[in-house]
């Protein structure tokens, strides 16, 4: 990538579809490397603060990361009456872990991300996301979640699949065998929530996630949130449950920037075009 000091109009782009790209003006390149698993890029941007890209796809920007991280975590956690043990698959930047640890009911949260370099980059450049890494209730594992999950039968109340897009090391996290392993790893009354891509820009991926969850869990349901820097800005989360429903079971007792109990309820109401997409 060109040096922004000598190229004042440097931009980084994500090709969000074959016909759509989103760009950020870069003020400084902070880290650019090939990890054992993917290309990692951290930049300062003029519009959105620091941003993390993996394999050319934006994972987060400081300006709006909380939309995604609050919704992937708080909807399933508040839907569970007592989420004591939580697993995050992926999420090596720490944003989802930060939100999970806000729940006093959580006794342990295991974060399993295959790429340790993502966690190291977050420690170095994203202190507001990595705040949970050293919490005594957090356990960090850098290994293949596809292998780890097979050894965790009946271990978790809530599982959050905070994966990258279904390319590279994350492909297996969108397949039916993985969902079957997740179901076996839940305690009675357990819930999983998985990022399911954009119903506007990547409807086929949303449909694939819901087909997999519906074939695996007695109850599968989609809910929606916002992710301004992601393709289409409207983001889907697929859930699988062994029993119960997704209504909030406990009052909100800590500060948030986007999530509220009312937004939780509204997120479960799908517009007609999304219902048609997953029908």
Residue 247: both structure tokens together? 């209504």
Distance CA 119, CA 92 (A): 5
**Interatomic CA distance for residues 109 and 83, integer angstroms:** 10
Q: What is the pTM of this model?
A: 0.93
Does the residue 6 lie in any domain? no
In this structure, the answer to whether residues 33 and 92 fall within a common structural domain is no
Residues 205, 166, single domain; the answer is: yes
Clarify whether residues 178 and 212 are in a common domain: yes
Specify if 92 maps to a domain. Answer: yes
pLDDT tens for each residue of 72-122: 999 999 999 999 999 999 999 999 999 999 999 999 999 999 999 999 999
In whole angstroms, what is the distance from residue 171 CA to residue 187 CA? Answer: 26
The predicted pLDDT at position 9 comes to 87
Q: What is the mean pLDDT of residues 123-152?
A: 96
Residue 6 pLDDT greater than 60, yes or no: no
Within a domain: 28: yes
DSSP for residue 231: T
Q: What sign does the dihedral 141-144-147-153 (CA atoms) show?
A: positive
Residues forming the active site: 162
Q: Do 85 and 161 fall within a single domain?
A: yes
Domain range for 44: 11-61
Domain assignment present for residue 203? The answer is yes
Residues 90 and 44 placed together within one structural domain of the fold: no
Regarding whether 72 and 203 lie in a shared domain, the answer is yes
Q: Are residues 70 and 170 in the same domain?
A: yes
Q: Which two tokens stand for residue 130?
A: 């990595």
Angle at 187 between CA 183 and CA 189, to 5 degrees: 90
Phi, psi of 53 (to 5 degrees): -120, 140
Res 1 pLDDT > 60: no
Count structural domains, the chain: 2
Of 25, 41, 61, which residue constitutes the final position of a domain?
A: 61
């Amino acid at each position: 990538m060109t040096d922004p000091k000598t190229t004042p109009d440097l931009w980084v782009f994500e090709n969000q579809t074959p016909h759509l790209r989103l760009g950020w003006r870069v003020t400084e390149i902070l880290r650019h490397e090939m990890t054992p698993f993917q290309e990692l890029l951290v930049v300062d941007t003029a519009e959105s603060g620091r941003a993390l890209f993996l394999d050319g796809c934006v994972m987060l920007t400081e300006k709006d990361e909380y939309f995604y991280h609050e919704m992937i975590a708080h909807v399933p956690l508040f839907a569970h009456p007592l989420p004591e043990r939580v697993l995050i698959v992926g999420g090596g930047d720490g944003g989802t872990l930060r939100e999970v640890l806000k729940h006093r009911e959580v006794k342990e949260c295991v974060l399993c991300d295959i790429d340790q370099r993502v966690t190291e980059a977050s420690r170095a450049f994203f202190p507001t996301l990595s705040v949970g890494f050293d919490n005594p209730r957090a356990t960090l594992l850098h290994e293949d979640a596809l292998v780890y999950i097979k050894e965790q039968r009946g271990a978790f109340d809530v599982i959050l699949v905070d994966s990258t897009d279904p390319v590279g090391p994350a492909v297996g996290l969108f397949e039916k065998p993985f969902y079957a392993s997740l179901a076996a790893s839940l305690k009675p009354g357990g819930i999983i929530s998985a990022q399911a891509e954009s119903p506007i820009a990547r409807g086929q991926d949303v449909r694939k996630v819901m087909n997999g969850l519906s074939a695996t869990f007695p109850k599968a349901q989609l809910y929606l949130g916002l992710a301004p820097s992601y393709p289409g800005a409207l983001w889907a989360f697929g859930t699988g449950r062994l029993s119960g429903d997704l209504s909030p079971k406990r009052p909100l007792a800590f500060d948030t920037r986007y999530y509220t109990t009312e937004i939780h309820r509204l997120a479960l109401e799908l517009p007609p075009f999304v219902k048609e997409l997953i029908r």
